[in-house]
């Protein structure tokens, strides 16, 4: 058996904030009905068409937890909460429309130019990427040679992958669809084996990723 851990990164199912195009980072939002269907679809796929997982980890937010619960039920695993894979917290900017963050605050340009920028009460890209990397490396070390599912969020995954793969702290090149999954290994160096796998979501199509960040290469 290889000592390299395979990390399956899953973005949670759709929420009303996704369809309304508003930022809910630390805001605890439930899945929509479509999001629950997406969660069941990815759970079924991971249980029936992929190698079995040894563990399932989730952020502490209910949209991720409910997605992880479906995945765990399908594989007979109780998900474990890992707060460090939680979503990017924008503090006082939580709940604002993406169009406003883009047009009024010029948010994506500001964080690209300064990865330590944080809205009042919120996080910086550096802090999100750092905690995400710390979490995935800790989990990988605890599950050597095993396959592990992590249910996280669009912003956290995108920033984390940007740092792990490109050494760029505010990189938004890899935005995942709701309940898509990606396959990541960290040894001998971080690399993606698959990204944004979504074929299992036929009939439950998520949003275009470009709608989630305002721009493509961020």
User: Which residues form the catalytic set?
Assistant: 12, 87
DSSP label at residue 22: B
DSSP label at residue 56: E
Half-sphere exposure at residue 70, Cβ-oriented, CA atoms within 13 angstroms: 23
C-alpha dihedral (44, 49, 54, 60), degrees to nearest 10: -40
Name the β-bridge partners of 194: 183
Let me know: does 2 contact 161? Beta carbons within 8 Å.
no
Which tokens hold the place of 63? 């949209």
- The residue among 1, 5, 59 whose CA lies nearest residue 188 is 5
DSSP label at residue 143: T
């Amino acid at each position: 058996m290889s000592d390299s851990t395979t990390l399956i990164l899953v973005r949670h199912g759709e929420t009303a904030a996704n369809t309304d195009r508003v930022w809910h980072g630390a805001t605890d939002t439930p899945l929509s009905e479509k999001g629950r269907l997406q969660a069941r679809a990815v759970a079924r796929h991971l249980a029936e068409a992929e190698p079995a997982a040894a563990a399932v980890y989730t952020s502490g937010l209910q949209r991720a937890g409910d997605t992880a619960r479906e995945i765990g039920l399908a594989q007979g695993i109780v998900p474990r909460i890992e707060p460090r894979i939680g979503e990017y917290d924008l503090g006082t900017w939580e709940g604002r429309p993406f169009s406003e963050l883009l047009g009024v605050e010029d948010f994506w340009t500001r964080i690209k130019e300064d990865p330590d920028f944080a809205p009042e009460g919120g996080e910086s890209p550096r802090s999100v990427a750092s905690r995400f990397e710390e979490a995935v490396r800790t989990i990988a070390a605890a599950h050597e040679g095993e396959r592990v599912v992590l249910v996280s969020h669009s912003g956290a995954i995108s920033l984390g992958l940007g740092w792990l793969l490109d050494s760029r702290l505010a990189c938004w090149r890899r935005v995942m669809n709701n309940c898509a999954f990606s396959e990541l290994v960290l040894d001998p160096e971080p690399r993606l084996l698959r990204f944004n796998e979504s074929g299992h979501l036929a009939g439950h199509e998520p949003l275009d990723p470009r709608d989630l960040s305002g721009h493509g290469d961020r």
